[in-house]
Copies of this chain bind each other. A is one copy, B any other.
Amino acid sequence: MNSRNTKAKSVILQLLKEAKQALSHDALQAALAGSADRATIYRVLNRFCTEGIIHRTVGDDGKQYFALCVDCQEKHHQHNHFHFRCFTCGKVECLPNQIEVNLPKGYRTENFTGFISGYCAACA
């Protein structure tokens, strides 16, 4: 008996699908309008992350943002892309380009976070 289908899970996943951008916990909570508990939302998001169907990035505002995995295969995840947050409209989007970073000899990457904030084309 592994994963179960629940209201909270399907609604949160649906919201992430529709959004086509990264969402923060509080954005989801607002969209859920009381239909799921605060802690539940956190737990569902964390579960989705470990299951590999969404990925997490930490913004320069110190908040976590979650987005669907798009170019990821079941086994091989590719998350070395930047995220852009617009100060004005607040949206956080995954930028398409994968980034290469030269690490010093012997260093091993476990987690990549790229985050740029500023003004999007519509708001600039």
Q: Could you list which residues of chain A lie within 8 angstroms of chain B, going by C-beta atoms? A: 58-64, 82, 84, 87, 95, 97, 99, 101-121, 124
Contact = CB atoms under 8 A, between A and B. Distances in A.
Contact of A107 (B59, B105, B108, B121): B121
A95 B99 contact: no
24 contacts: A58-B58, A58-B61, A58-B62, A59-B113, A60-B113, A62-B64, A84-B103, A95-B104, A97-B102, A103-B116, A104-B121, A106-B120, A106-B124, A107-B118, A107-B119, A107-B120, A107-B121, A108-B118, A108-B119, A110-B118, A112-B116, A113-B113, A113-B114, A114-B115
A114 B101 CA distance: 10
Contacts of A109: 116-118
A63 B58 CA distance: 10
Contacts of A118: 107-111
Contacts of A105: 121
Closest 5 pairs between A and B when the two form their complex, measured CB to CB: A106-B121, A110-B118, A113-B115, A111-B117, A60-B113
B60 A111 contact: yes
